[in-house]
Chains A and B, each alone.
Chain A
Amino acid sequence: MPLDPSFVGRTYPPTDPYLVGREKIREFARAIGADDAAYHDPEAARAIGYADVVAPPTFPTVVTMAASRQVVADPALGMDYTRVVHGDQKFAYARPVVAGDALICVNTVEDITQRGGHDFLTIRTDVIDESGERVVTAWSKLVQRGEEKP
């Protein structure tokens, strides 16, 4: 069944804060081979004006991907996650994520379209810190592939 376009514009309740740990940033940076000192060494991060280690540009996916389950696992929307592939990804940054941040995600269904038998769902996730300041906005376009014809 195609995804219900009436979900477009729907905003979900803010997620519980995700506390960004210094070791999580280091682990993520090591996993992608990013060795810039500011990802690993708090002193190096302070030297460029941050309170603690900063995260590489795609680190917010750790937080936003988990948060977007709110939408993709919403039984009312009825996505079949076994048929979902990642189509597009975009980030717009106000600042890098910094260890110690408590990040709250607000998911909004920005677009639902059908084309060529596939469903396309775009989720915008506004990531804000505890003071309510925007840190980064992420857009994920997910493709639910059409069901095999019997």
Chain B
Amino acid sequence: MSDALETQTYRVTRADLVRYCGASGDFNVIHWSDRLATQVGLPGVIAHGMYTMALVGRAVTTWAGAPDAVVEYSVRFSRPVPVPDTDEGTEIVVSGVVKEVTDDGLTRISLTATCQGEKVLSLASATIRKR
């Protein structure tokens, strides 16, 4: 595992948010109604923070090469991810840097997620155990 991990890019559309509403049980209106999202001061429908966290988690398990490698995972949601009602939607770009490899086989990764060039998470990191 090198220091800088291979950047992962995930497309996010309205259909993805609807699917995530059903899968997660989080039907907050700000994730599917522009009308209600703008009423509470948002630019429009935004992605679930936990959906962004799930995509970043995919990057982590991809880098780890194992679905069960994650020991600890934390993020701060610092900026919303607006998802326009277009075929293209938007994109989340995830990068990671290895910060520490411990003697007991743990690797700590610092994570960055951006949307339209802006960071959407801060204080994001994961610890993985190599199999």
Contacts and interface: CB of A to CB of B under 8 A. Distances in A.
Interface stretch (A7-15, A59-67, A121-129): A59-67
Contact of B72 (A39, A93, A96): A93
A127 B90 CA distance: 34
A26 B25 CA distance: 14
A33 B23 contact: no
Interface residues of B, number: 32
Interface in B108-128: 123
Contacts of A89: 49-50, 53, 74-75, 77
Given A48-B66, A56-B67, A58-B53, A91 B24 contact: no
Contact of B22 (A31, A34, A66, A139): A31
Interface in A23-59: 24, 27-28, 30-34, 36, 38-39, 48, 50, 54, 56-58
B67 A65 contact: no
A31 B66 contact: no
B76 interface: yes
B77 A87 contact: yes
Contact of A32 (B58, B66, B72, B76): B58
A116 to B, nearest CB: 15
B50 A58 contact: yes
B62 to A, nearest CB: 9
A56 B16 CA distance: 17
Contacts of B63: none
Contacts of B75: 88-90
Given A36-B61, A57-B60, A28 B70 contact: no
A33 B75 CA distance: 20
Interface string B22-57: 111110000000000000100000000111011101
B85 interface: no
B83 to A, nearest CB: 14
Nearest to A86: B49
A56 B71 CA distance: 12
Contacts of A90: 72-75
Given A30-B19, A91-B73, A61 B50 contact: yes
Interface of A: 24, 27-28, 30-34, 36, 38-39, 48, 50, 54, 56-58, 61-62, 65-66, 82, 85-93, 95-96, 139
16 contacts: A33-B16, A39-B67, A48-B66, A56-B57, A56-B61, A58-B50, A65-B26, A66-B25, A86-B77, A87-B77, A90-B72, A90-B73, A90-B75, A91-B74, A93-B73, A139-B74
